[in-house]
Structure 1
Amino acid sequence: MERYLSEKGKLREVLPHYEYRPMQLKMAKKVKHALDKEKILVVEAPTGTGKTIAYLLASIEAKKKTVISTGTKNLQEQLIFKEIPLIKKSLFPNLKVALMKGRVNYLCLRRWKNFIKNPTFDWDDKASVFSSIEKWVTKTETGDRSELIEMPEDYPIWWHISSKSELCFGLKCPYFKECFITKMRQIAASSDIIVVNHHLFFADLSLKGVASAAVIPSYEAIIFDEAHQIEKIAADFFGFMVGANRIYDLLNDIKQKLSKNKRKDWENNLSGIERSIKYFFSLFPITEEKYRLKNELITDDVKDTTNNLFNQLDQLSARLHKEKDDEEWVFLEQRTKLIKEELEYILFVQDDEYVKWVEPVGENVIFHASPIDVSLQLRQNLYSKEIPIIFTSGTLSVNGSFSYFKKSLGLDPDIDEVMLDTPFDYKKNCLLYLPKEAPEPSSDEFILFLIKEIKELLTLSKGRAFVLFTSIKNMKEVYHVIRDQFSFPIYIQGEMPKTALLDRFRKEVSSSLFATFSFWEGVDVPGESLSCVIIDKLPFEVPTDPVIEAKIEKIKNDGGNPFFEFQIPRAVLELKQGIGRLLRTKNDKGVVAILDVRLRMRGYGKIFIGSFPSFPITIEKKDIENFFNRLG
Structure 2
Amino acid sequence: MAELPDVETLLNAAVRALGGSRRDGQAAMAEAVSTSVDTGEHLVVQAGTGTGKSLAYLVPALRHAMSEDTTVVVSTATLALQRQLIERDLPRLGTALAPLLDREPVFAILKGRRNYLCRHRLHGADSGDPEDTELFDPRQLSSLGRQVKRLHEWAEETVTGDRDELAPGVSDLAWRQVSVSANECVGAAACPFGQECFSEQARYEAGGADVVVTNHAMLAISAMQGYQLLPEHRVLVIDEAHELVDRVTSVATGELGERAVNTAAKRAGRLVEAGLTERLSESGDGLVLLFAEAEAGRLDHLPDSLAGAVAAVRDAAHACLSAVRTGSTEQDPDYATQRKQALAALEEVHDTAVRILESFEPPLRERRDVVWLAKGPKQAPALQVAPLAVGGLLREKLFGDRTTVLTSATLALGGTFAPLAAQWGLGRETSGAAPGAPAEAAPPAAEAAAAPAGPGDAVETGGNPAGPGGGPSDTDSDADDPSKAAGEPRWRGLDVGSPFDHARSGILYVARQLPPPGRDGLDPRYLDEIAGLVEAAGGRALGLFSSMRAAAQAAEELRERLDVRILCQGDDSTGRLVEEFADEESSCLFGTLSLWQGVDVPGRSLQLVIVDRIPFPRPDDPLASARQRAVGARGGNGFMAVAATHAALLLAQGTGRLLRSAQDRGVVAVLDPRLATARYGGFLRSSLPPYWETADPEVARAALRRLASVPDAS
TM-score normalised per structure 1: 0.91
Unaligned runs of 5+ in 1: none
Work out whether residues 286 and 364 of structure 1, in 8 Å CA contact, stay in contact via their aligned partners in 2: no
Structure-2 residue corresponding to 1:332? 342
Matched residue type, 1:75: L
Moved more, 217-226 or 560-569: 560-569
Are 2:221 and 1:221 aligned?
A: no
Give the alignment of 1:291-370 within 5 angstroms: 291-295=297-301, 298-300=303-305, 302-320=306-324, 321-326=326-331, 327-328=336-337, 329=339, 332-333=342-343, 335-349=345-359, 350-351=361-362, 352-360=367-375, 362=378, 364-370=380-386
Q: CA deviation at 1:340?
A: 1.5
Structure-1 residue corresponding to 2:284? 277
Gap change, CA 1:348 and 1:117, over 3 Å in 2: closer
Gap change, CA 1:612 and 1:310, over 3 Å in 2: closer
Partner secondary structure for residue 291 of structure 2: coil
Q: CA deviation at 1:191?
A: 0.3
Matched residue type, 2:112: G
Work out whether residues 267 and 341 of structure 2, in 8 Å CA contact, stay in contact via their aligned partners in 1: no
Gap change, CA 1:481 and 1:184, over 3 Å in 2: same
Work out whether residues 132 and 150 of structure 1, in 8 Å CA contact, stay in contact via their aligned partners in 2: no
Matched residue type, 2:354: E
Matched residue type, 1:31: V
The counterpart of 1:167, out of the listed 184, 189, 203, is 184
Structure-1 residue corresponding to 2:523? 447
The counterpart of 2:175, out of the listed 158, 162, 177, is 158
Gap change, CA 1:437 and 1:272, over 3 Å in 2: same
Alpha-carbon separation, structure 1, partners of 2:88 and 2:379: 43
Residues 37-85 of structure 1 show CA distances to partners (whole Å, capped at 9, x for unaligned) of 2220000001011100110111112235111111111211221222112
Are 2:93 and 1:91 aligned?
A: no
Gap change, CA 1:250 and 1:433, over 3 Å in 2: same
Work out whether residues 556 and 562 of structure 1, in 8 Å CA contact, stay in contact via their aligned partners in 2: yes
Gap change, CA 1:121 and 1:426, over 3 Å in 2: same
Residues 350-385 of structure 1 show CA distances to partners (whole Å, capped at 9, x for unaligned) of 25011112222646223222111111111222222x
Structure-2 residue corresponding to 1:235? 249
Gap change, CA 1:114 and 1:507, over 3 Å in 2: same
Q: CA deviation at 1:611?
A: 2.4
Structure-1 residue corresponding to 2:214? 196
Are 2:568 and 1:552 aligned?
A: no
Q: Between Structure 1 and Structure 2, how many residues are aligned?
A: 612
Are 2:419 and 1:401 aligned?
A: no
Residues 126-158 of structure 1 show CA distances to partners (whole Å, capped at 9, x for unaligned) of 33333222223233322222344355233x242
Give the alignment of 1:118-197 within 5 angstroms: 121-123=135-137, 124=140, 125=142, 126-149=144-167, 151-154=169-172, 156-174=173-191, 175-197=193-215
Gap change, CA 1:314 and 1:454, over 3 Å in 2: same
Matched residue type, 2:145: A
Alpha-carbon separation, structure 2, partners of 1:283 and 1:445: 33
Gap change, CA 1:422 and 1:172, over 3 Å in 2: same
Gap change, CA 1:114 and 1:412, over 3 Å in 2: same
The counterpart of 1:565, out of the listed 638, 641, 664, is 641
Structure-1 residue corresponding to 2:41? 39
Alpha-carbon separation, structure 1, partners of 2:168 and 2:411: 40
Gap change, CA 1:391 and 1:448, over 3 Å in 2: same
The counterpart of 1:420, out of the listed 496, 502, 522, is 496
Unaligned runs of 5+ in 2: 1-6, 431-490
Alpha-carbon separation, structure 1, partners of 2:571 and 2:522: 25
Partner secondary structure for residue 658 of structure 2: coil
Structure-2 residue corresponding to 1:456? 532
Work out whether residues 183 and 340 of structure 2, in 8 Å CA contact, stay in contact via their aligned partners in 1: no
Q: CA deviation at 1:22?
A: 0.7
Alpha-carbon separation, structure 2, partners of 1:47 and 1:363: 37
Alpha-carbon separation, structure 1, partners of 2:292 and 2:421: 38
Matched residue type, 1:452: D
Work out whether residues 624 and 642 of structure 2, in 8 Å CA contact, stay in contact via their aligned partners in 1: no
Gap change, CA 1:280 and 1:396, over 3 Å in 2: same
Work out whether residues 292 and 546 of structure 1, in 8 Å CA contact, stay in contact via their aligned partners in 2: yes
Structure-1 residue corresponding to 2:387? 371
Residues 164-213 of structure 1 show CA distances to partners (whole Å, capped at 9, x for unaligned) of 011122254223222111100000000011111112211222212x4xxx
Work out whether residues 265 and 278 of structure 2, in 8 Å CA contact, stay in contact via their aligned partners in 1: no
Structure-1 residue corresponding to 2:17? 14
Residues 199-253 of structure 1 show CA distances to partners (whole Å, capped at 9, x for unaligned) of 2211222212x4xxx4322222110111011111112223433333233333444
Residues 380-438 of structure 1 show CA distances to partners (whole Å, capped at 9, x for unaligned) of 22222x21100001111122211111111110312211011221112221111112411
Gap change, CA 1:623 and 1:248, over 3 Å in 2: same
Are 2:677 and 1:601 aligned?
A: yes
Gap change, CA 1:25 and 1:161, over 3 Å in 2: same
Work out whether residues 291 and 382 of structure 2, in 8 Å CA contact, stay in contact via their aligned partners in 1: no
Alpha-carbon separation, structure 2, partners of 1:630 and 1:485: 22
Please report the RMSD computed on the Cα atoms of aligned residues, expressed in angstroms: 2.4
Partner secondary structure for residue 229 of structure 2: coil
Matched residue type, 2:387: P
Structure-1 residue corresponding to 2:262? 248
Alpha-carbon separation, structure 1, partners of 2:521 and 2:50: 39
Matched residue type, 1:323: S
Partner secondary structure for residue 161 of structure 1: coil
Q: CA deviation at 1:549?
A: 1.2
Gap change, CA 1:315 and 1:619, over 3 Å in 2: closer
Moved more, 494-503 or 563-572: 563-572
Structure-2 residue corresponding to 1:102? 112
Q: CA deviation at 1:317?
A: 2.5
Alpha-carbon separation, structure 2, partners of 1:10 and 1:308: 65
Gap change, CA 1:315 and 1:400, over 3 Å in 2: closer
Structure-2 residue corresponding to 1:390? 405
Are 2:686 and 1:622 aligned?
A: no
Matched residue type, 1:165: A
Q: CA deviation at 1:453?
A: 0.7
